[in-house]
Structure 1
């Protein structure tokens, strides 16, 4: 068992060194609907230059958020006890995990990995100040109550740098990264637990370097 853990450690070390060596564009911000952006920053060994790490945003809120990013980023977080999404309230109750939920006007943000409101607010405020609005990269996926209309709308948004991860093909969607591993569950999943699924299907360094 120890030898496998050692091999995993060496593989991770080599992979991350290679990615960091290849990276030319070192000043950028990833606006993600879940933790995927955080995994990229960790692989590259650079500070989080986006507040959208260690959290998730339901698809309808995410689309609103990125369509008027500067407006929403300028707002102060207001924390609430319950989500406007019933599925979230049920899940939190079932897991007995009442993580912070923040609102930016009508946008709801789920701070899944923050211990309390103070922690979530402090990290959000610190990281939002680091955003490079001149070099933005947007990531979306068919998770968190996805509506196929949101995927199609995302594809049409006039952003230079964007990527969509999907578990299956969607009618009308032309540019995406298909992760067949998640086909049975009908949506892509945890970008940390399944980090190699994402890595093997998408060269994020090439994307960041060239858009």
Structure 2
């Protein structure tokens, strides 16, 4: 058996294992708004339909919080337009999302796991229309320690979601009243962004992400957008 065949076999076994492990998930119609691939991996591992456009992509931090705080204004239903742009050093599709309202800035979407901008745009608009406003949560993943003077804690607390969590290092400073999950993977020597989504060893089916009990998090409540955003 060659290496490609072994990789395919491991991927199939991994999916079966995650579907079995996550069979306790009851909240199966949830929209997860995330700043990177964490939402897509959770959807995939749980065998869920993608009810969020934040799949297979990442945002710059402040762009993400601007998007999350103004979710409806950045939707295609409200006239937001997504066009392709280019940036030196970026080989995958990149989009600029411009809302109809002149009061809000255009934001960048880095479609890292799409083969073309056309497909990325199609999926973004399709999944934006699936957002479940009656069952929504926000997950912000930050692999680097959040410093005391970082704007992230304030931006996170201001995000109008009743159910939200930061996934980060134990060395992060997030302040009181913030739900935080500290994962040991971020403190491994030579940690690189993306390692969270890899398996713990060549023979393991478990990802480092599995140290976050996302099934318990999703089952706990059906989150809402707070009234200020529903306009």
Normalising by the smaller structure, the TM-score range is: 0.7 to 0.9
Distance of 2:190 and 2:198 partners within structure 1: 15
SS state of the match for residue 112, structure 2?
coil
Q: Which runs of 5+ in 2 are unaligned?
A: 99-105, 200-205, 222-231
The offset of 1:9, in angstroms, is: 5.6
Choose from 206, 209, 212 the match for 1:198: 209
SS state of the match for residue 127, structure 2?
helix
Kindly indicate which of the two structures has a greater share of residues assigned to helix.
Answer: 1
Give RMSD over aligned pairs.
2.9
Q: For residues 39-81 of structure 1, what are the alpha-carbon distances to aligned partners after superposition, in whole Å with 9 as ceiling and x for unaligned? A: 1111111221111101001111001110111101231212112
* 1:28 and 2:30 correspond: yes
Distance of 1:203 and 1:193 partners within structure 2: 16
- 1:36-185 equivalences under 5 Å are 36-73=38-75, 74=78, 75-82=80-87, 89-90=88-89, 92=90, 98-105=91-98, 106-143=106-143, 148-174=150-176, 175-183=179-187, 184=189
CA contact (8 A) 1:32 1:139 kept: yes
Q: For residues 123-153 of structure 1, what are the alpha-carbon distances to aligned partners after superposition, in whole Å with 9 as ceiling and x for unaligned? A: 1111111110121111112259x78312332
Distance of 2:195 and 2:157 partners within structure 1: 22
Q: Which runs of 5+ in 1 are unaligned?
A: 83-88, 93-97
TM-score normalised by length of structure 2: 0.73
- Residues 185, 150 of structure 1: CA spacing in aligned structure 2 closer, same or farther, 3 A cutoff? farther
